[in-house]
């Protein structure tokens, strides 16, 4: 699918009638600072669409992006951010859990983004289990592969794949734009675009 339009719709912190429409939703989830917003920007080839920041915990709402009037790409806040007040972290965690698990909304894909260089954290693995139990259609994107030393690459990716329990792991670099075509193909495929 060629992306002809990608626009920010709005940020939500609760139910939204838009999400009851037939437009498929694709959710991007991951630890704070793993590059969720950067992955979205490279995926839709639009720099600055999703706000990125070197300060973790930047995204505080669920930001909805409209892709070609055919998909809603959902940029979720990051989990596991150690700083920030306890109540704020709890609120973000509740928001993520509500949208993915408790709400009546359906996601075509839940894309779990991890830091390939750091490897899956306990938090990542716990999130994966929760998504599995909820029966989500899961895709793992291992971002920041550009940070892995070339001599460690094979071993590190093997470790990531092993810890991700049989799910497809797509090596990715938002920085170097590696994996973007593959991700676009997996998520959007060859669908017809509603005009
Ligand atoms: P929150 O919204 O705070 O949860 O963060 P996020 O997951 O949306 O991360 P964001 O896209 O804002 O990126 C965080 C930082 O990681 C920024 O400084 C990015 O430039 C950097 N970054 C993102 N992707 C890559 C990558 O593939 N390689 C490298 N080296 N840096 C990256
Ligand atoms: Mg973000």
pLDDT in tens, 124-167: 999 999 999 999 999 999 999 999 999 999 999 999 999 998 89
Interval between CA 15 and ligand 2 midpoint (Å): 20
- Reply yes or no on whether the pLDDT at 60 is more than 60: yes
Interval between CA 130 and ligand 1 midpoint (Å): 24
* Residue 141 contacts residue 120 (beta carbons within 8 Å): no
User: Both ends of the chain: CA-CA distance in Å?
Assistant: 14
| pLDDT tens per residue, range 71-126 | 999 999 887 765 667 787 888 889 999 999 999 999 999 999 999 999 999 999 99
Q: How far apart are CA 5 and CA 69, in angstroms?
A: 8
Give the number of the ligand closest to the Cα of residue 116.
1
Q: How far apart are CA 9 and CA 142, in angstroms?
A: 27
Average pLDDT over residues 26-36: 93
* Residue 77 contacts residue 95 (beta carbons within 8 Å): yes
Interval between CA 79 and ligand 2 midpoint (Å): 11
Q: How far apart are CA 8 and CA 102, in angstroms?
A: 24
Interval between CA 52 and ligand 2 midpoint (Å): 6
Confidence band, pLDDT 50/70/90 cuts, at residue 195: very low
Instruction: Enter the DSSP assignment of 18.
Output: G
Q: Is the CB of 63 under 6 A from ligand 1?
A: no
Q: Is the CB of 60 under 6 A from ligand 1?
A: no
Interval between CA 166 and ligand 2 midpoint (Å): 26
Q: How far apart are CA 52 and CA 77, in angstroms?
A: 11
Burial of 122 (0-12, 13-18, 19+ CB in 10 A): exposed
3-class secondary-structure state, position 4: coil
Ligand 1 atom 10 nearest Cα: 35
Q: How far apart are CA 3 and CA 7, in angstroms?
A: 11
Give the number of the ligand closest to the Cα of residue 47.
1
Q: Is the CB of 57 under 6 A from ligand 1?
A: yes
């Amino acid at each position: 699918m060629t992306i002809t339009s990608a626009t920010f719709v709005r940020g939500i912190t609760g139910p939204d009638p838009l999400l009851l429409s037939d437009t498929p939703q694709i959710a991007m989830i991951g630890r704070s600072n793993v590059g969720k917003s950067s992955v979205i920007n490279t995926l839709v080839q639009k720099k600055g669409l999703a706000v990125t920041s070197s300060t973790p915990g930047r995204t505080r709402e669920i930001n909805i992006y409209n892709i070609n009037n055919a998909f809603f790409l959902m940029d979720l806040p990051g989990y596991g951010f150690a700083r920030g007040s306890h109540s704020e972290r709890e609120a973000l965690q509740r928001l993520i859990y509500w949208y993915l698990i408790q709400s009546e909304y359906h996601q075509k894909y839940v894309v779990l983004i991890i830091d390939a260089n750091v490897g899956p954290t306990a938090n990542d693995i716990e999130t994966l289990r929760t998504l599995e139990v909820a029966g989500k259609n899961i895709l793992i994107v291992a971002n920041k592969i550009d940070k892995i030393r070339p001599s460690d690459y094979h071993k590190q990716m093997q470790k990531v794949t092993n810890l991700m329990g049989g799910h497809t792991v797509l090596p990715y670099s938002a920085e170097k734009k590696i994996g973007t075509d593959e991700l676009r193909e997996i998520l959007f495929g060859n669908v017809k675009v509603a005009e």
